[in-house]
């Protein structure tokens, strides 16, 4: 437990049961700390003083005026009452409305003068203000005071239908008025050097700024604190992972024999990353390394070499793939790459949820007895029932499909924690990597094996060129005539079922309809066209992939089940229908499925999105470059932050609030450096109690969020 801080006070103690219940239910805020880190989204202005004769619609105005009348009446159609107040500044008349706030009639008496602010709405042709802010003058208005009030930034909070922004503002005010002293997790020296205001002052000014410069400075201080505490937490987590013992593994004849038999030479990057991994494995602490590299850059091969090092001393490796199709494919390609001799010795084994019971039992036996030194599977490998004899290495392929918790569950499977290697084809900008995978070491494979020709990509803009769709199918037919194969990727399975994360909800191109129409398309007459999607039984999917890989199927109409890893060197063409429904990274991944062998790859992104829309921009971005890192950065710009970080990072209360990974790269890097320096010289944080408390508070919140979800 962190030592008592005003931030840990429960909201029911600070605000009363009823308000606290509403805040917990509507916004997930439970403590004073939660509430105070629920920052305003933006700041509105009461605006310049306006005259009643010229009220611009939809703008925020401030008016000095006198109340003429206030009438409360029941609503006509609904329950509740409406208070209508008319005011005048001597030039015109304006109506204010309040729902269910009859009590205001006591304040807003005829003759009362004050200053009124709100957004001008239109009701049956005349201007009105609904629920305006106001402050009544006691005597004659002091022009200076009126002007200051009109300048005051109004915090606008993320609100819900049950908790309004002004209610949050009020509650924050109550809490701030009684807040005791706060320890700052950012050390004084760091704060002084970066010219940051103290924590308590920053909280005051972000919620109750007097002028705009106030909240600017407050955000700056709180943003740094957020990045700093996060980086300190990640670095501490990294240190914690390395504080337990793991079995050191050193390569020997198994790997030497494998390398000698490889029909190609490793690329420079493969060799370099291989050395980093070998170095990690040889240490008596668990490896936690992320390897990122484009599709086809040879990551799986690098992972396989690590498995061979572990197998040398009888250790087992588990390879986790995101889907059954991919697990099956991995197993086949591992067996092929190992060759009959090594396969017989290492017994690569498939263990997935869809295996028939007898086979599954056999695979589990091979895992627990240690006879299978390579086990390939999906989430089923995380099941309680699967045990290993000596699990030395866990390889997670395509990290973005696996949450932190799943990684954690696997880590707990061995007697001693296994080494963990995470592979991802999604290029991750450095700052995102630092933020999301800050507890992992990171390696990159940038170099592609020689002899790959770059994929050609085109946008097919149906908004302007509806006729081009028939040209797409002719182009596919031309590729088939050359003996190549094609993928057609669509967002939905049928008119009702979609797969994967989509960015739009209106009806989309679907497998069922597209399959039917392609089979009837004369330019594709005589071609074998099949459909693959996640709702097919596992053995059917496997058979389809096998047939496609063997060249027996010409065109595969599929959902994103084929997104990652599927390797068919003879597939030259990828058509993506409704391409605007996919994210930038996803399109880039999809494109990586073609042009993998010696054949020239072609990607056609078909979209109905209009020019200059964000949807269209995403598709154009992918077509314009093959550089995954450039696209990842573009993706960051175009997407919502939450999508980038995944639900784990954006969901919990420990999520980022002010830090934006797309913009704050430098800040994040600096915060990491500062945090690393502190943890280096003071690993237990004995000299930094406020930081230690903040980290413990984070862990508590994470544990709570984890328990709430599970």
Residues lying near Mg ion in the complex (CB under 5 A)? 300, 565
Binding site partner of 293, from ligand ADP, Mg ion, none, Cβ cut-off 5-8 A by kind: ligand ADP
Site size toward ligand ADP (CB under 6 A) is 13
CB 583 within 8 A of CB 617: no
Tally of CB atoms within 10 A around 48: 11
Q: What is the CA radius of gyration of the chain?
A: 31
The one among 301, 621, 631, 656 contacting ligand ADP by CB under 6 A: 301
3-state helix, strand, coil in the chain (%, to 5): 45, 20, 35
Output the six-digit token pair for 25: 């239910």
Residue 37 or 586 with smaller CB distance to Mg ion: 586
* Whole-number Å distance between alpha carbons of 219 and 292: 33
Asked if 295 touches ligand ADP (CB under 6 A), the answer is: yes
Exactly one of 40, 132, 298, 429 binds ligand ADP (CB under 6 A); that residue is: 298
Q: 31 contacts which partner out of ligand ADP, Mg ion, none, CB within 5 to 8 A by kind?
A: none
Nearer to ligand ADP, 266 or 508 (CB): 266
Which residues lie across from 602 on neighbouring strands?
456, 573
Angle between helices 165-177 and 199-207 (to 10 degrees): 150
Alpha-carbon gap, residue 585 to 622, rounded angstroms: 8
Determine if 296 is a binding residue for ligand ADP (CB under 6 A).
yes
DSSP annotation of 108: S
Q: Which of 297, 457, 498, 654 binds ligand ADP (CB under 6 A)?
A: 297
Distances (CA, A) of 657 to 30, 38, 650: 17, 8, 9
634 bridge partner residues: none
Least distance in angstroms from the C-beta of 556 to ligand ADP: 19
Q: Is 300 in the site for ligand ADP (CB under 6 A)?
A: yes
Residue 335 backbone zone (phi > 0: left; psi -120 to 50: alpha; other: beta):
alpha
Q: Which CB, 392 or 565, lies closer to Mg ion?
A: 565
Query: For ligand ADP, which is the closer residue by CB, 91 or 265?
Result: 265
* Closer residue to ligand ADP in complex, CB, 225/297: 297
* Shortest distance, position 565 Cβ to Mg ion, whole Å: 5
348 lies in the site for ligand ADP, by CB under 6 A: no
- The CB-of-610 to ligand ADP minimum distance in angstroms stands at 35
State how far the alpha carbon of 33 is from the alpha carbons of 6, 37, 42, 170, 652, in Å: 8, 6, 20, 16, 14
In the bound complex, what is the minimum distance in angstroms from residue 289's beta carbon to Mg ion? 16
CA distance 40 to 29: 14
Q: How far is the CB of 129 from Mg ion (least distance, A)?
A: 60
- Strand-pair partners of 459: 605
- Find all residues with CB under 8 Å of 454, minimum gap 6, and list them: 595, 601, 626
Residue 589 lies near ligand ADP (rule: CB under 6 A): no
Minimum CB separation from ligand ADP for residue 453, in Å?
14
Q: Cα torsion at 400, 318, 447, 235 (round to 10°)?
A: 60
The candidate with the shortest Cα–Cα distance to 529, out of 541, 544, 546, is: 544
Q: Which stretch binds ligand ADP (CB under 6 A): 25-33, 261-269, 412-420, 477-485?
A: 261-269
- Containing 486, the helix (H) or strand (E) segment is strand 485-489
Q: Which of residues 407 and 653 has its CB atom nearest to Mg ion in the complex? A: 407
Residue keyed to tokens 């999105």: 609
Q: Which of 99, 103, 123, 264 binds ligand ADP (CB under 6 A)?
A: 264
Residue 224 near residue 671 (C-beta atoms within 8 A): yes
**Which of 7/423 has CB closer to Mg ion?**
423
Calpha distance 256→275 (Å, rounded): 14
- Paired tokens of 39: 């920052």
Between 342 and 694, CB nearer to ligand ADP: 342
206 binds, among Mg ion, ligand ADP, none (CB under 5 to 8 A by kind): none
Residue 266 within binding range of ligand ADP, rule CB under 6 A: yes
Write down the least CB distance from residue 590 to Mg ion, Å.
Answer: 14
In the bound state with ligand ADP, the residue whose beta carbon lies nearer, of 267 and 444, is: 267
Quick note: the x/- pattern for ligand ADP over 426-455, rule CB under 6 A, is -----------------------x------
The interface region with ligand ADP, picked from 2-10, 295-303, 617-625, 666-674 by CB under 6 A, is 295-303
Q: Which range of residues in 94-102, 259-267, 626-634, 673-681 is near ligand ADP by CB under 6 A?
A: 259-267
601 binds ligand ADP (CB under 6 A): no
Q: Which ranges of 9-130 does DSSP label H, i.e. alpha helix?
A: 11-15, 17-27, 32-36
The entry of Mg ion, ligand ADP, none near residue 424 (CB within 5 to 8 angstroms by kind) is: none
270 near ligand ADP, rule: CB under 6 A: yes
Give the Cα separation of 290 and 419 in Å (integer): 12
- Strand pairing report for 133-136 and 113-123: antiparallel
Report how far residue 116's alpha carbon sits from residue 133's, in angstroms, rounded to the nearest whole number: 6
Question: Which 546-565 residues touch ligand ADP, going by CB under 6 A?
Answer: none
Which of residues 247 and 444 has its CB atom nearest to ligand ADP in the complex?
A: 444
User: Smallest gap, in angstroms, from Cβ of residue 264 to ligand ADP?
Assistant: 4
| Nearest CB to Mg ion, comparing residues 157 and 548 | 548
- DSSP calls for 527-551: --EEEE-TTS-HHHHHHHHHHHHTT
CB of 595 to ligand ADP, least distance (A): 12
The binder of ligand ADP chosen from 6, 155, 251, 293 (CB under 6 A): 293
Strand partners, 84: 71, 97
598 near ligand ADP, judged by CB under 6 A:
no
Contact 171, 15 (CB under 8 A): yes
Residues 157, 190: Cα–Cα separation, whole Å: 30
Residues that bind ligand ADP (CB under 6 A): 264, 266-267, 270, 293, 295-301, 449
């Amino acid at each position: 437990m962190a030592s008592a801080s005003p931030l840990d006070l429960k909201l029911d103690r600070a605000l009363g049961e009823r308000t606290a219940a509403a805040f917990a239910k509507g916004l997930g805020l439970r403590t004073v700390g939660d509430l105070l880190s629920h920052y305003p989204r933006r700041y509105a202005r009461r605006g310049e003083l306006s005259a009643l004769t010229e009220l611009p619609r939809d703008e925020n105005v401030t008016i000095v005026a006198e109340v003429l009348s206030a009438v409360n009446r029941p609503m006509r159609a609904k329950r509740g009452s409406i208070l209508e107040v008319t005011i005048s500044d001597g030039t015109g008349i304006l109506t204010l409305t309040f729902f269910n706030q009859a009590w205001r009639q006591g304040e807003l008496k005829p003759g009362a003068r004050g200053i009124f602010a709100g957004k001008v709405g239109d009701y049956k042709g005349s201007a009105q203000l609904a629920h305006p802010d106001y402050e009544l003058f006691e005597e004659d208005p002091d022009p200076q005071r009126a002007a200051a009030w009109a300048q005051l930034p109004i915090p606008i909070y993320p609100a819900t239908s049950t908790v309004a922004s002004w209610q949050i503002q009020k509650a924050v005010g109550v809490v701030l008025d009684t807040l005791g002293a706060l320890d700052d997790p950012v050390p004084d020296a760091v704060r002084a050097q970066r010219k940051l205001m103290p924590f308590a002052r920053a909280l005051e000014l972000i919620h109750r700024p007097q002028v705009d410069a106030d909240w600017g400075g407050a955000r700056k201080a709180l943003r740094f604190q957020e990045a700093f505490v996060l980086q300190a937490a990640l670095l501490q987590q990294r240190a914690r992972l390395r504080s337990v013992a793991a079995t050191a593994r050193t390569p020997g004849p198994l790997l030497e024999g494998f390398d000698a038999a490889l029909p190609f030479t490793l690329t420079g990057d493969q060799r370099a990353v291989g050395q980093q991994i070998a170095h990690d494995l040889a240490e008596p602490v668990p490896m936690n390394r992320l390897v990122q590299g484009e599709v086809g850059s040879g990551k799986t091969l690098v992972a396989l070499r690590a498995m061979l090092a572990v197998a040398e001393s009888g250790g087992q490796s588990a390879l986790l793939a995101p889907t059954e199709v991919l697990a099956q494919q991995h197993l086949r390609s591992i067996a092929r790459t190992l060759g009959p001799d090594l396969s017989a010795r290492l017994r690569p084994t498939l263990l997935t949820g869809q295996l028939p019971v007898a086979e599954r039992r056999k695979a589990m036996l091979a895992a627990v007895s240690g006879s299978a030194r390579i086990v390939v599977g999906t989430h089923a490998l995380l099941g309680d029932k699967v045990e290993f004899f000596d699990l030395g290495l866990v390889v997670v392929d395509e990290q973005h499909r696996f949450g932190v918790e799943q990684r954690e569950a696997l880590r707990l499977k061995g007697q001693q924690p296994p080494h963990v290697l995470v592979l991802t084809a999604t290029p991750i900008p450095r700052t995102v990597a630092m933020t999301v995978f800050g507890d992992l070491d990171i390696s990159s494979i940038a170099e592609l094996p020689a002899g790959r020709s770059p994929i050609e990509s085109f946008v097919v803009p149906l908004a302007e060129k509806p006729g081009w769709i028939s040209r797409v199918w002719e182009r596919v037919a031309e590729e088939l005539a050359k003996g190549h194969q094609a993928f057609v990727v669509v967002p939905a399975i049928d008119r009702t079922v979609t797969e994967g994360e989509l960015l739009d909800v209106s009806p989309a191109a679907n497998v069922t309809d597209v399959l039917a129409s392609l089979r009837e398309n004369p330019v594709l007459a005589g071609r074998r066209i099949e459909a693959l999607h996640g709702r097919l039984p596992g053995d059917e999917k496997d058979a389809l992939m096998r047939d496609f890989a063997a060249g027996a199927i010409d065109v595969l109409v599929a959902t994103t089940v084929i997104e990652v890893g599927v390797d068919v060197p003879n597939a030259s063409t990828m058509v993506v229908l409704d391409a605007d429904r996919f994210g930038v990274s996803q399109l880039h991944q999809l494109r990586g499925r073609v042009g993998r062998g010696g054949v020239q790859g072609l990607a056609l992104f078909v979209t109905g999105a209009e020019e200059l829309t964000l949807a269209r921009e995403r598709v154009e971005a992918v077509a314009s470059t093959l550089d995954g890192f450039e696209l990842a950065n573009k993706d960051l710009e175009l997407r919502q932050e939450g999508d980038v970080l995944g639900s784990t990072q954006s969901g919990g209360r420990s999520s980022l609030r002010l830090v934006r990974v797309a913009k704050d790269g430098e800040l994040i890097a600096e915060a990491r450096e500062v945090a690393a320096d502190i943890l280096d010289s003071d690993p237990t944080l004995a000299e930094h109690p406020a930081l230690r408390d903040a980290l413990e508070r984070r862990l508590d919140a994470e544990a709570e969020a984890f328990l709430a979800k599970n």
